[in-house]
Amino acid sequence: NEGEDRLTLSVTMHIGSDGNVIDYKIEEGIICSLHRMTYTAVTAMLENDADMLQKYSDIADDVKNMRELAMILKKRRRAMGSIDFNFPEPKVILDSDGRVAGIKAYETGISNEIIEQFMLIANETVAKHASDNALPFVYRVHESPDGEKLANLQKYLRIFSIPFKIPDDGKICPRDIQRVMDMIAGTPEEHAASTLCLRSMMKAQYAPENLGHFGIGAKYYCHFTSPIRRYPDLAIHRILKESIKKGISEKRRSYLDSFTERASAKSCE
């Protein structure tokens, strides 16, 4: 809400020109939003809409810097091998009585991209912090595809004359899947082939051990940014706050190790 103080658990990051986090701080704090923004308004600003630029002139430079940083982070993530599945998100249209009047593709703009990139780097930084400090934790993990799924994917892609080679050791990296996505982009086969690639992936899970995230191409990952609507985020917020305020004793660690196992299992149901 515009102009109202809100309690937060914030990740303040210093990010270099290559998109890597140089240093960071995880701390409790208070924020006061200058404006209640929308994706539409921010996208309009970045497309040089004169009215929006005038209305939000006090933050126009900050928003442009946010776009620049988001593109740096996206380039870094691309270099890491993050897979970009291009599936349109449906938007349900309701009439005045609340009944479904239609469904259309949800339109996204540069503002959505900014938020996505910032959330990803926050999640990644928090997960690395937890791993480096051996905190009991709930990680978001996504393991590499197994051999049988890869063999089936190779067979089906061959039908579309799309080359896909599985290394002799059977191990692939996210870039191998992304190369397929790049080859099919804009082709009639894109939707079908993308679906095949997606179905070849393992299911993402929550786990108390850090197993990395194959799809994002990240060595460390968690869900941190939505504690008011997603339980794993709430669980790790509580652990992070406890570690910041008073540290975690061995007795408490023993309990939290058991708790994160239960929280991970419950979050996967």
- What percent of the chain stands above pLDDT 70? 99
Task: Flag whether pLDDT at 104 surpasses 80.
Answer: no
Among 220, 211, 240, smallest CA distance to 135 is for 240
What are the respective helix, strand and coil percentages of the chain, to the nearest 5?
Answer: 45, 15, 40
Q: Is the pLDDT of residue 95 over 90?
A: no
Residue 88 has pLDDT above 70, yes or no: no
Q: Would the pLDDT of 86 be above 90?
A: no
CA dist 40 and 52 (Å) reads: 10
The per-residue pLDDT of the chain, averaged, comes to 92
Residue 26 has a pLDDT of 97
Distance CA 92, CA 112 (A): 18
| DSSP line for 35-77 | ----HHHHHHHHTT-HHHHHHTTTTHHHHHHHHHHHHHHHHHH
pLDDT digits (tens, 9 = 90+) for 230-255: 999 999 999 999 999 999 999 999 99
Q: Which of 54-68, 160-174, 193-207 has the highest mean pLDDT?
A: 54-68
**Three-class secondary structure of residue 155 per DSSP:** helix
- Residue 105, classified by CB atoms within 10 Å of its CB into exposed (0-12), middle (13-18) or buried (19+), is exposed
Q: Which residue carries 């930084």 as its tokens?
A: 125
Mean pLDDT of 91-109: 83
Give the pLDDT of residue 124.
97
Between 60 and 169, the more confident residue is: 60
Read off the DSSP letter of residue 181. Answer: H
Which residue in the block uniquely carries the two structure tokens 């590499």?
144
Q: How many CB atoms lie within 10 A of CB 108?
A: 13
Which range, of 120-124, 183-187, 256-260, averages the lowest pLDDT? 183-187
Dist. CA 164–CA 15, nearest whole Å: 35
Q: Report the C-alpha gap between 52 and 46 in whole angstroms.
A: 9
Residue 157 CA to residue 228 CA, distance in Å, equals 41
Please report, to the nearest 10 degrees, the dihedral formed by the alpha carbons of residues 207, 212, 218, 223 taken in order.
Answer: 0
| Cα Dmax for the chain | 59
Burial of residue 158 (CB within 10 Å: 0-12, 13-18, 19+) is: exposed
Task: For strands 100-105 and 139-141, give the pairing.
Answer: unpaired
**Percent of the chain predicted with pLDDT > 90:** 66
